[in-house]
Structure 1
Amino acid sequence: MLNRWQYAAQLPNGFFELPRQLYAGQPYYPEAEHQAEQLCRQMAATHDIVVYSDDFRTVRLVGIFPKDATDDTAYFGFWETKDEVEINKLAFDMLRQEAAARGFSRVRGPLHFSTYFRYRLRLGAVPSWGQFDREPVNPPYYPRLLAEVGFRPALTFESRRLRAAAVPAVYRQQAAALAQLADSPFEFIPLNASVWQSLRDEIFGLIQQVFGQNPAYRAVSRAQFDLLYNAEYAAGLCPHSSVLFRHRASGRLAALSLCQPNYQPLNLPFITVPNFAQHYPQLPAPRTLLAKTVGVHPDFRGQGLQAQLAAYAMRSFLAHYDDVIFCLMRADNLSLRFTDGLPVETAHYALFEQDV
């Protein structure tokens, strides 16, 4: 028998115990798990939040029901479970029944309110890098359990690691983009914590514009934005490759690229926010660059800015890194062409859905 809790001001006792057990001794841990209480508190005004569990012994499942739904989709998130299918069938049956009673026709997840926050499952075996910062991770049996309770992939994603041996080929392929930087109509603004603070209003607006049309993206408030993307976060970015492009003629921010080293080899505590000045010098070889959040404002697309953002990072890459991971790209994203034909290690992810 499972219990049902309607969220009211705080999460139930024991909410965090199951993931502590499941990930003990693993080289990965769910991103922002420690922020769940604060996130639910912020989102409760616009979402009904319902927790289903057997007192957090076997399964934890959260139903997320938008109060002002613009489509017919409810969500599930904060799902953690032991490898037991029957109790998951009960939990997801409760979720589907409630979604149907509330007028929703499908359930999608795992997704913590918006694609802005944690979402997706990682599929297959653990890749060589273990877990990069904010990569969705989970026990390997999770996708199978979702299939067994009736879910199917709705959107798929990839991360691709390009090892050092293939880097020279990239420079040959991107020679034209590198040459274009010399007379670009855009100003390049290297990103660090102080620049982030001074331009945070513009950055917030740019990110909303760049990613606002992505499937399942919902606009976030400034408080929600600052929860994950703030000066402390910016201090972990690579200041050599992270950049804003400002259109010289109009003065508008046109594109951004947020990159950072893969700090995973340092085995920092999960709640530690990496800091480039402190932690980059401690990294052993090979040093890996994470190409994380890269995008172009809709008004400036079609001008080759994706290639120029990559070329900007390439100018300093050889002095600071050995290889690179292109992180969490939609499987149908044109950016994937950057590594087509090159030897890569690929990790796969999916967002799942089911009709109710």
Structure 2
Amino acid sequence: MPVFLDRLPYNGELPASFDTVGRQFYAGLGYAPDDEPAAELCRQLADTHEIIFYTDHWNMRLAGLFPKDGGEVALFAFWETAGLLLHNQLAFDLLLKDAAERGFQTVRGPLHFSPYFRYRLRLGAVPSWRQFNREPVNPPYYPGLLEQLGFRPALAFESRRLCAADVPQVYEQRPVVQQQLTGSLFEFIALTPAVWQALEDEIFELVQQVFSQNPAYRPVGKAQFRLLYNEAHAEGLCPYTSVLLRHRASGQLVAFSLCQPNYHELGRAVSAHPVFARDYPLLTNCTLLARTVGVHPAFQGQGLQALLAAYAMQEFREYYEDVIFCLVRAENLALSFTKGLPVEVAHYALYERSVL
């Protein structure tokens, strides 16, 4: 049976079938990707990226993102599929052909323009928590299908869950670090919505500096950053464990830890973002998500990640039963915090293949 795909250069609107194709493959799985402002992302980034959609409007969709300033790497994104190999071969062949004609050497994904937004695939069995907020999730056949299409993992990531029964071991093994919170060279600023509003520009600059160390990083402007990271986002953060570090001598923000409860069990509508004060009391399972932790490159290697963790541990046992250290690069030293402790691990990968 012949397969017909449309190749649709972006013209200011997503394909009419975009949302339908994106949702249907998750029916019955018990998890689905959190919604993302795809239309607004494409609208804002069309000036810097050529965007082409490939779809049959039912069994699969795929987008090629081609940076207009060139380079070696093009991206694939917004990929959802019923798993039919032929459809995906045809779609990726078209994308690879477009990439080659524009001089790109490698295609990497899934990556929605930047690591600020959705990227990576989850690998292996579904973990006990099933899904946390903004976790990459996908039907289990996605990684194998990509490998059949010639893609291989380029970067590996892990999430590690430390169960409630094992949390006391952390306190036994980390007393020295906790003692360092007193008399530190750094000021600890609890990250509340008011603090976010007052320091938003400084936070944006610090996050840019930290994420620039990521091999998959592509810079974004303030408008794209604010699509997800804004006062509304700050309202969902845990005010007891989320913190900024300011270097007392220079006055510079040098590190941050963004933590929040796992609100996913509440199933709240996307239009109503989580608010800690409102939603935390509704949770039956109080799991802390250690979501985004970063240290300015000039201050790395000075034990700041351990200080951030020690700060969170001060209030942890009063409010949470367990913790998930979310989406950490597999070789990141931050994972040493759970070394020697029994943890449940979920794996993820970003994929790539040569254009030729």
Q: TM-score, normalised by structure 1?
A: 0.97
Q: In the alignment, which residue of structure 1 is the partner of 2:55?
A: 53
Q: In the alignment, which residue of structure 2 is the partner of 1:290?
A: 289
Per-residue Cα deviation, 1:227-274 (whole angstroms, up to 9, x for no partner): 000000100000000000011111100100000001122232345411
Q: In the alignment, which residue of structure 1 is the partner of 2:32?
A: 29
3-state SS of paired residue (1:310): helix
Which residue identity does 1:183 align to in structure 2? Answer: G
3-state SS of paired residue (1:140): coil
Which residue identity does 1:39 align to in structure 2? Answer: L
Q: In the alignment, which residue of structure 2 is the partner of 1:167?
A: 167
Q: In the alignment, which residue of structure 2 is the partner of 1:343?
A: 342
Q: In the alignment, which residue of structure 2 is the partner of 1:318?
A: 317
Q: In the alignment, which residue of structure 1 is the partner of 2:304?
A: 305
Matches of 2:35 and 2:208 in 1, distance apart?
21
Matches of 1:83 and 1:9 in 2, distance apart?
28
**What is the 5 A alignment of 1:200-349?**
200-284=200-284, 286-349=285-348
Q: In the alignment, which residue of structure 2 is the partner of 1:135?
A: 135
3-state SS of paired residue (1:16): helix
Matches of 1:13 and 1:19 in 2, distance apart?
11
Matches of 1:32 and 1:64 in 2, distance apart?
19
Retained in 2: the 8 A contact 1:32–1:118? Answer: no
Runs of 4+ in 1 over 4 A off after TM superposition: none
3-state SS of paired residue (2:126): coil
Q: Tell me by how many angstroms 1:31 deviates.
A: 3.0
Matches of 2:40 and 2:33 in 1, distance apart?
16
Retained in 2: the 8 A contact 1:132–1:263? Answer: yes
Tell me if 1:152 matches 2:155.
Answer: no
Retained in 2: the 8 A contact 1:192–1:237? Answer: yes
Retained in 1: the 8 A contact 2:17–2:58? Answer: no
Which residue identity does 1:63 align to in structure 2? Answer: G
Matches of 1:196 and 1:242 in 2, distance apart?
11
Per-residue Cα deviation, 1:196-229 (whole angstroms, up to 9, x for no partner): 0111010001100111121121111010010000
Matches of 1:311 and 1:4 in 2, distance apart?
52
Matches of 1:270 and 1:80 in 2, distance apart?
20
Matches of 1:287 and 1:237 in 2, distance apart?
14
Matches of 1:182 and 1:272 in 2, distance apart?
38
Which residue identity does 1:53 align to in structure 2? Answer: T
Which residue identity does 1:27 align to in structure 2? Answer: G
Bigger shift: 259-268 or 241-250? 259-268
Per-residue Cα deviation, 1:272-327 (whole angstroms, up to 9, x for no partner): 4111000001111x411000000101111121100000000000001101100000
Q: Tell me by how many angstroms 1:127 deviates.
A: 1.0
Per-residue Cα deviation, 1:71-125 (whole angstroms, up to 9, x for no partner): 3010000000002111111111111111111111110000001112110000112
**What is the 5 A alignment of 1:177-196?**
177-196=177-196
Retained in 2: the 8 A contact 1:123–1:347? Answer: yes
Bigger shift: 166-175 or 58-67? 166-175
Q: In the alignment, which residue of structure 2 is the partner of 1:11?
A: 14
Tell me if 1:62 matches 2:63.
Answer: yes
Q: TM-score, normalised by structure 2?
A: 0.97
3-state SS of paired residue (2:182): helix
Matches of 1:141 and 1:25 in 2, distance apart?
15
Which residue identity does 2:140 align to in structure 1? Answer: P
Matches of 1:173 and 1:85 in 2, distance apart?
50
Matches of 1:99 and 1:316 in 2, distance apart?
50
Matches of 1:124 and 1:212 in 2, distance apart?
29
Matches of 1:300 and 1:90 in 2, distance apart?
47
Matches of 2:101 and 2:301 in 1, distance apart?
44
Matches of 1:125 and 1:43 in 2, distance apart?
34
In structure 1, list runs of 5 or more residues that go unmatched: none
Matches of 1:36 and 1:178 in 2, distance apart?
42
Q: Tell me by how many angstroms 1:10 deviates.
A: 1.1
Retained in 2: the 8 A contact 1:289–1:325? Answer: yes
3-state SS of paired residue (1:182): coil
Retained in 1: the 8 A contact 2:210–2:295? Answer: yes
3-state SS of paired residue (2:345): strand
Over the matched positions of the two proteins, sequence identity in percent amounts to: 62
In structure 2, list runs of 5 or more residues that go unmatched: none
Aligned residues: 352
3-state SS of paired residue (2:119): coil
Retained in 2: the 8 A contact 1:287–1:323? Answer: yes
Matches of 1:62 and 1:78 in 2, distance apart?
6
